[in-house]
Amino acid sequence: QRHQRTLKVAVVGCSHGQLEAIYERMVQMESQQNAKFDLLICCGDFQSIRNHGDLHHFHAPFHHRKLGTFYKYYSGEKVAPLLTLFVGGNHESSGFMAELPNGGWVAPNIFYMGYASVSNSRCLSRLALSPPFPFGHFERPPFRERGSVVSAYHVRSVDIFRLRHLKDGPPLDIFFSHDWPAGITDFGDWETLLRIKPHFTEDVRNNRLGNPATMDLLHQLKPAHWFAAHLHVHFTAVVPHSSASPTASVTRFLALDKPNENPRRRFIQFLHIPIAEDAPLDLCYDPQWLAILRATDELTQFTDKSVFMPSAVSPPTTDDIDSLLHSFGADLRIPSNFLHTAPPEREPWNCKGRPPSLYYRNPQTQQFCE
Ligand code: 5GP
Ligand code: MN
């Protein structure tokens, strides 16, 4: 019997700025398992804070408004040891994320997926994701008021609308989002979940634990795997689909906890996903997704009026996709074109050795100091 080629994927729940600790844990697990991992997927609350200025656009309680460890990977002091993909959560560097609405590199080897996107990656035929949170109004940057910093992470109905069109394309291997799809708890051991998290009881009973918009997407897109975070607990579920479809007959849902020392609270999990022998190893744009973005571009323009989604938009045809591929040439690989768009944070902070404070700028030195 031939050995099946597999992709070795590590998945984490919320990162909460603890990227350094996550990579340290990965290196440790790699030596224990005597394996090298191909890809790390982070399901939001990633907190890619580049410098103290980014804390102005970071929505979190005061005691959580800290630099974290991402800035070391941004400044170049450290390098991410493997390709890392992340989706936005409700605690993000929202000003920075607004620079990359369709995704992009936030540091060498660390790729943000944007509001919603699809990629072919490292032998997976397709990855997709949706953003974090229930519907709400959405505002453009700069995020000045408390309200607009909150609205920055809301799921836009245009993203759900776009993602729905993926059902006509090739099957999805992995879908990842910050929040759980509301209703997923019916397909797993919710009794154990409620023993660990009794304060979810009301929401589970009323089928509203999670994002109300994304369970329909799960049923329509039928990805083989769906990863999520946000509720800070490990949970699995298996959603059956009708066997008539060419896509996966079940979706395996996996939610993970946030980084912590307790071995019973799992925040990282390793999966070996079977892949084709000849599958490519690069992160690439997905032609169908590019065609969907182009066909729906006018829906993302900012106006003072409410914009409603059309009741129907015909999905991109093979001709649309062919012409798009033609305009790209044959090469859909996402180039490694990371650029600094803000000054990296560097220690020492020049505030008598202490980190500068977010809230006070010294008028003489223009430094943020306490
Ligand atoms: P975050 O880290 O995003 O600020 O907060 C996550 C925490 O908020 C979770 O651990 C969970 O306790 C709580 N939470 C988030 N969404 C819900 C929800 O829909 N229902 C309930 N009951 N709690 C939630
Ligand atoms: Mn969260």
Identify which ligand lies nearest to the alpha carbon of 258.
Answer: 1
Q: What is the DSSP letter of 43?
A: -
Q: What is the pLDDT of residues 269-313, one digit of tens each?
A: 999 988 877 776 688 888 888 888 888 888 887 777 777 777 766
Q: Which atom of ligand 1 lies nearest, measured to the CA of 60?
A: 4
Burial 259-286 (b: 16+ CB within 10 A, else e): beeeeebbbbbebebebeeeeeeebebb
Half-sphere exposure for 83 (CA within 13 Å, toward CB): 17
Kindly indicate the confidence band of residue 241, based on its pLDDT and cuts at 50, 70 and 90: very high
Q: What is the pLDDT of residues 201-221, one digit of tens each?
A: 999 999 989 988 899 999 999
- Cβ-based neighbour number of residue 88 at 10 Å: 30
Predicted ipTM of the assembly? 0.97
The pLDDT score that the predictor gives to residue 1 is 58
Contact (CB, 8 A) for 8 and 270: yes
Q: Which atom of ligand 1 lies nearest, measured to the CA of 90?
A: 3
Q: What is the pTM of this model?
A: 0.90
Q: What is the pLDDT of residues 147-174, one digit of tens each?
A: 565 666 677 788 888 898 888 888 899 9
Query: With pLDDT > 90 as the criterion, what percentage of the chain qualifies?
Result: 44
Phi, then psi, of 285 in degrees rounded to 5: -70, 150
User: Of all protein residues, whose CA lies closest to atom 12 belonging to ligand 1?
Assistant: 231
Q: Which atom of ligand 1 lies nearest, measured to the CA of 16?
A: 2
User: Of all protein residues, whose CA lies closest to atom 15 belonging to ligand 1?
Assistant: 231
- Mean pLDDT throughout 345-360? 66
Query: Of 41-55, 77-91, 339-353, which gets the smallest average pLDDT?
Result: 339-353
Structure tokens at 186: 């019916």
Whole-angstrom Cα distance, residue 172 to residue 79?
A: 30
- Mean pLDDT throughout 325-342? 86
Q: Left, alpha or beta for 221 (phi > 0: left; psi -120 to 50: alpha)?
A: alpha
The pLDDT score that the predictor gives to residue 316 is 76
Q: What is the pLDDT of residues 106-135, one digit of tens each?
A: 999 999 999 888 888 766 777 877 655 544
User: Of all protein residues, whose CA lies closest to atom 7 belonging to ligand 1?
Assistant: 231
User: Of all protein residues, whose CA lies closest to atom 22 belonging to ligand 1?
Assistant: 200
Ligand 1 mutation pick, 231, 232, 256, max ligand atoms within 8 A of CB: 231
* Cα-to-centroid distance, 217 and ligand 1 (Å): 21
Per DSSP, what are the bridge partners of residue 66? none
Phi, then psi, of 366 in degrees rounded to 5: 60, 15
Whole-angstrom Cα distance, residue 370 to residue 358?
A: 9
